[in-house]
Structure 1
């Protein structure tokens, strides 16, 4: 099933999605027809410039949601929270899909983007899907954040007409908030008030982390750049036993080395090598906990010829050496 739309300023996702599914839409709730699966999509509006859409369903066929840039510029910020065991595929500018998933307490997708980037998200069939999308106008977000001296990231996001894409990690506190929001009784008369407060908590957690990023001049990004960056991320994670080679990655991305370094750090919040090392340590932690491997086996599998160096790096990242971490 493919649902394609253009991100115009007046577009209302749930209305058009209901028509696409031939589903009933009542009081902002779309019930998935039994012929297609089960579950719902719910929209809550906290004014004309601030709304959320909660997706909670299981479908009998794969769902592909394609957002096409309207060409009218950016006047809306989208914050996408995906907290599911099953991986989802994200692509930009018709590039191959790149999988994002949550494995144990590791990586999840929080995506902050302008609505002038074309993207495709692919959700698997026969799997429970839970995610939330916040849509907010830059002026409303700026008013909510009320930051007197914002860094370049917050300036870019809350400014008008900027094109941007930022990814952030989903920490335990964010996951807990999303679970609370998914479980709330919406028949309660104060449920909308509760949800608005929880959404603002979520926004605080995301934008607090973004506010700590290095303040540098923002480099404009387009859909093609975004697609190439996700492809580079995939290439970095493909083989964690070998460090990335910047020259080769730049050739793969069809970018200069300088542009690739700038856009990668801007989008993911870390340099290419730091991102690689973080992923390497996270993979080590997973293998030690769940892979039934010894410290030596994990170290060698991840390309460390010096196990003392592996232990020092791991302890710096997790506060415990690999042996103690494995036993904890």
Structure 2
């Protein structure tokens, strides 16, 4: 099933999605029809400029959500929080799907509404995510801080195009699950929800505020698609370090532009991103319990197991052997 829409500030996702699947909305909740699956979508308007949509369902067929640019200047910020319990595909500008799975916590994205995106959710998996839509002016008012770093200045500014990814922390994941269980019929639930969603935004914007303060590089749909393709190439074989010249050629951009846009979007350098993904894969494999430390190290391209152990301990605070038994 494909659902396509244009991301304007006044667009009501739930109302139009209900029409698309032949369902009804009652008390700001859409119950998924039995023929399609089970679960629900809830919408909470915290103000005219601050809205959230919570998705919790299991579908009998793949769901593809295509968000098209509004054709207007950027007038809305979208923060997308995915619980990362199951794999999903994210792509930009109709490029091939990029998978984010349990091994990769890059499941929070913050984007302007002038960037096309497509998200593919697989059938028969538990889907749990939240979308926060907020205007730049309202976010700036909430942040209530004059000396914002360049990333937050870009996000809260007027007419900027941007795309940022952050890893979802345990704290963010727990809060996300809690928000989905709040009883909206309770008398003070709206007030409580407003506070907790602001806490959610604090967690992501606090991390974004720690990014290096540099001049924002303009990003368009083609750039976004290339960056996700390059990211996929980096993690496709973690036994081989990325080669900048080859990635730049793959993305049809200069090495300088690639380094700038990649760090701006993912918050770290290409090589650091590769090493982080390498350590996450190592942790995942070690927890499976069917490979030795040496086998995991060699599989991930380490010829020196002492170096592998030191690097792993730097990331996780335990050496690989202790981690596998923890």
When the two structures are superposed, what TM-score results if normalisation uses the length of structure 1?
A: 0.97
Question: Given that residues 289 and 324 in structure 2 are in contact (C-alpha distance below 8 angstroms), is that contact kept between their aligned partners in structure 1?
Answer: no
Instruction: After TM superposition, list the pairs within 5 Å mapping 1:210-229 onto structure 2.
Output: 210-229=208-227
1:64 aligns with 2:64: yes
Q: 1:108 to 1:244 in 2, by over 3 A?
A: closer
Question: Given that residues 4 and 66 in structure 1 are in contact (C-alpha distance below 8 angstroms), is that contact kept between their aligned partners in structure 2?
Answer: yes
Distance 1:153 1:272 in 2: 19
The corresponding residue for 2:306 is 308
Which of the residues 288, 291, 294 maps onto 2:292? 294
Instruction: Compare 284-293 and 143-152 and name the one that shifted more.
Output: 284-293
The corresponding residue for 2:150 is 152
Distance 1:160 1:233 in 2: 28
The corresponding residue for 2:93 is 93
Match of 2:180, SS? helix
* Residue ranges of structure 1 left out of the alignment (5+ in a row): none
Instruction: After TM superposition, list the pairs within 5 Å mapping 1:130-279 onto structure 2.
Output: 130-279=128-277
Instruction: Encode CA deviations 1:147-180: one digit per residue, 9 max, x unaligned.
Output: 2311100000000110000000111101110111
Instruction: Compare 133-142 and 33-42 and name the one that shifted more.
Output: 33-42
The corresponding residue for 1:14 is 14
Distance 1:257 1:183 in 2: 46
Question: Given that residues 82 and 108 in structure 2 are in contact (C-alpha distance below 8 angstroms), is that contact kept between their aligned partners in structure 1?
Answer: yes
Question: Given that residues 37 and 60 in structure 1 are in contact (C-alpha distance below 8 angstroms), is that contact kept between their aligned partners in structure 2?
Answer: yes
Match of 1:46, SS? strand
Paired residues, number: 326
Instruction: Compare 288-297 and 147-156 and name the one that shifted more.
Output: 288-297
Distance 1:323 1:60 in 2: 41
* Residue ranges of structure 2 left out of the alignment (5+ in a row): none
Distance 1:258 1:153 in 2: 19
Distance 1:294 1:181 in 2: 39
Q: 1:219 to 1:46 in 2, by over 3 A?
A: same
Match of 1:71, SS? coil
Question: Given that residues 54 and 129 in structure 2 are in contact (C-alpha distance below 8 angstroms), is that contact kept between their aligned partners in structure 1?
Answer: yes
Distance 2:143 2:163 in 1: 19
Distance 1:174 1:9 in 2: 25
Distance 1:289 1:165 in 2: 32
Distance 1:7 1:152 in 2: 25
Instruction: Encode CA deviations 1:223-278: one digit per residue, 9 max, x unaligned.
Output: 11111111101100011111000000000000100011000000000100000011
Distance 2:325 2:22 in 1: 53
Deviation for aligned residue 1:291: 4.2
Instruction: Encode CA deviations 1:17-50: one digit per residue, 9 max, x unaligned.
Output: 1111111111211111112111111110111000
Deviation for aligned residue 1:124: 0.9
Distance 1:309 1:128 in 2: 38
The corresponding residue for 2:37 is 37
Match of 1:67, SS? strand
Distance 1:307 1:9 in 2: 53
Structure 1 residue ranges, 4+ long, deviating more than 4 angstroms after superposition: none
The corresponding residue for 1:79 is 79
Instruction: Compare 210-219 and 283-292 and name the one that shifted more.
Output: 283-292
Distance 1:260 1:166 in 2: 15
